[in-house]
Amino acid sequence: MARVTLENLAKWYGGQNVLDIVSIDVKEGEFLTLLGPSGCGKTTTLRMVAGFVSPDTGRVLFNGTDMTRTPTQKRRLGMVFQDYALFPHLNVADNVGFALRAAGMPKADISKRVRELLALIRLPAVGERFPSELSGGQQQRVAIARALAHTPAVLLMDEPLGALDLKLREAMQHELAVIQQKLGITTIYVTHDQEEALSLSNRIALMRRGKIEQLGTPREIYRNPATPFAAFFLGKINFVPGKLQEKQAGAYRISTSKGMLLCPTKDERKFSLGDQVLVAVRPEHLRIAEVASQNGSNVLPGRVVRQKFTGKVVQYEVRVDEMTSFIVDGTMDRSIESDAPVQVAWDVSATYLYPYEDDQEIGVGVASTEPQVVEVTGKHEANTLSESLAMT
C-alpha cells in the first residue's frame, strides 16, 4: 500500500493542453475517484500513474519516491480495465496468477493465493474455465482478483463497471466497496458516473478541461460545490442569472428578472456590488408553494410547463422567464396542473452564489433557451417561440 502523490502533472497532445497542472495527494488506503465528462483528462491522469503516458511536466510519487520514469512493470500496480482485458489464452486461475508468475513466485504458493482470491470474489469453482466461458460480471470479478493477487501498491480502475448493465453495476459497486475496505488498498478510480463516484469514494477529484474543478469528499462537493460546473455535474442544479444589489447582514441581495433573491454570504468568496452573478439551487431544496412570500425563503413566480414522472419523484419544470426554467422535485401525492401559475420557494441557506460566466455546457448563457424553443405545446409557448426567433 502506498501514498500516491501527483505533482503538477501536465500534458500536451498536438498543441492541445489535455492536462493542465494536476496535483493530488492520495492517502494510504484511500479510495479516490477521478470524475468528469469525457475528455476532461481523468483517463490521462490515471494512465500517468500507470506509466502508460509520460507527463510533459510534473512528477508521480509513490510513498515519496519519484516513479515518473519507472517503467509500468516495476510500479507494482493492480489494474482493472473497462473491457476486462483478461488473457483469452489463459484460464481463470492463470489469469489471476499472472502477476505472481511474472514476479517469480513458486507454483504451490501461486495456486494457494489464487484459491484465496477466487474465494474473495466468490467464484471458487471457475479456476479451470476460460474467460470467454464467463459472463461479463464474472469476468470483471476475475479481473479484480487478478489486479489484487500480488497485493499491489496501488489499484487503478478505468471505468471498470462501464460495460455492465444497471443492476449488475449496482451489485458490483457494493462488492468493490466491500473488497476495497477489507484490503485497504490505495485505489484510484476513473468514472464519468456521478452516482458511482458518490457512493464509492473517500474523496472525489472532479475534473474538467484538464484541470481539477474541485477536490473533496462526496459530501463536501455535493453540499458545497465550488463552481457552477461542480454543482451541475454532481446531482442536479438550477441556475438563475442576476446582479448583486446590496450586502445585508449575512446575506447578499440579488436582483433577477422576476424579483429579489437572498443568498448567504460565505467567507471564501468575495463579491462586490454590481457584479453579475449566478444563483444556484438544487431541485430537492425547492418546493412549489401557493403563498407568495415566506420568511427566510426565496420565492420566484412561474408556470409549470411540463412534468416528468421518474418513480421516486415527479419533476416539475417551472418556467420563470424566457431564459430560465427550474426543475423542482415534487411528490406524487399532490397533483399540479400544467400551465398553472405557481410560486417556487426555497430556504435562503440552500442558495449557492457564483460569479456569472457564459457556459453553454452547463446550460448557462445563450444556448439555454434552445430546449424550450423546440417543444411548443400551447399558446403561451408559441409567444416565447416567436420572441426567441426574434432574438436570434
Contacts with another protein by CB under 8 A lie at: 50-52, 71-73, 75-79, 81, 83, 85-89, 98-99, 102-103, 130-132, 146-147, 150, 156
Give the nearer residue to another protein in terms of CB position, either 110 or 263.
110
Give the nearer residue to another protein in terms of CB position, either 153 or 226.
153
CA distances from 343 to 237, 261, 279, 293, 339 (A): 18, 13, 17, 9, 12
Give the nearer residue to another protein in terms of CB position, either 105 or 350.
105
Contact 187, 112 (CB under 8 A): no
Q: Supply the minimum distance, in Å, between the C-beta of residue 390 and another protein.
A: 45
Q: What's the CA gap between 356 and 277, in Å, rounded?
A: 4
Q: Supply the minimum distance, in Å, between the C-beta of residue 88 and another protein.
A: 4
Helices and strands in the chain: count of H runs, count of E runs: 11, 20
Rg (CA), the chain: 25
Q: Supply the minimum distance, in Å, between the C-beta of residue 115 and another protein.
A: 18
What is the four-CA torsion angle of 180, 182, 183, 184, rounded to 10 degrees? 70
Among the listed residues 318, 315, 316, 288, the one whose alpha carbon sits nearest the alpha carbon of residue 303: 318
Give the nearer residue to another protein in terms of CB position, either 6 or 154.
154
Q: Supply the minimum distance, in Å, between the C-beta of residue 3 and another protein.
A: 19
Q: What's the CA gap between 351 and 285, in Å, rounded?
A: 9
**Helices 136-148 & 166-183 angle (0-180, nearest 10):** 20
Give the nearer residue to another protein in terms of CB position, either 94 or 220.
94
Q: Supply the minimum distance, in Å, between the C-beta of residue 37 and another protein.
A: 22
Q: Supply the minimum distance, in Å, between the C-beta of residue 135 and another protein.
A: 15
Give the nearer residue to another protein in terms of CB position, either 130 or 271.
130
**Helices 107-120 & 136-148 angle (0-180, nearest 10):** 130
Q: Supply the minimum distance, in Å, between the C-beta of residue 132 and another protein.
A: 5
Give the nearer residue to another protein in terms of CB position, either 32 or 99.
99
Among the listed residues 50, 143, 158, 140, the one whose alpha carbon sits nearest the alpha carbon of residue 99: 143
